[in-house]
């Protein structure tokens, strides 16, 4: 392999490495933004009857969600429906 071919391969590899590093930096940036967004969620105390809790827990299990995620999903859907009207 000639010296010119080696230089060409090195340049291509350097370009690939630069692209990979840029992609990694973007992934880290997106991950950090997602974590910040999660921190921005509001907390509230919600009191539910045991029967309602059990119904939501069963529904959450059917949908492979946590109870908290199920409640958030249901509230989001209710707000979406309200906005449609």
pLDDT band for position 1 (cuts 50, 70, 90):
confident
Instruction: Name the least confident of 31-40, 51-60, 76-85.
Output: 31-40
Whether the CB-CB separation of 57 and 50 falls below 8 Å is answered with no
Model confidence, pTM: 0.53
Q: What is the pLDDT of residue 50?
A: 96
Does residue 38 carry a pLDDT above 80? no
Instruction: Name the least confident of 1-5, 11-15, 25-29.
Output: 1-5
Alpha helices in the chain (DSSP H): 3-39, 50-62, 67-84
């Amino acid at each position: 392999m000639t010296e010119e071919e080696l230089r060409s391969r090195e340049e291509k590899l350097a370009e690939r490495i630069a692209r990979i590093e840029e992609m990694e930096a973007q992934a880290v940036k997106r991950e950090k933004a997602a974590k910040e967004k999660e921190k921005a969620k509001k907390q509230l105390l919600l009191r539910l009857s045991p029967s309602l809790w059990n119904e939501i827990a069963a529904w959450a299990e059917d949908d492979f969600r946590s109870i908290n995620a199920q409640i958030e999903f249901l509230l989001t859907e209710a707000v979406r429906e309200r906005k449609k009207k």
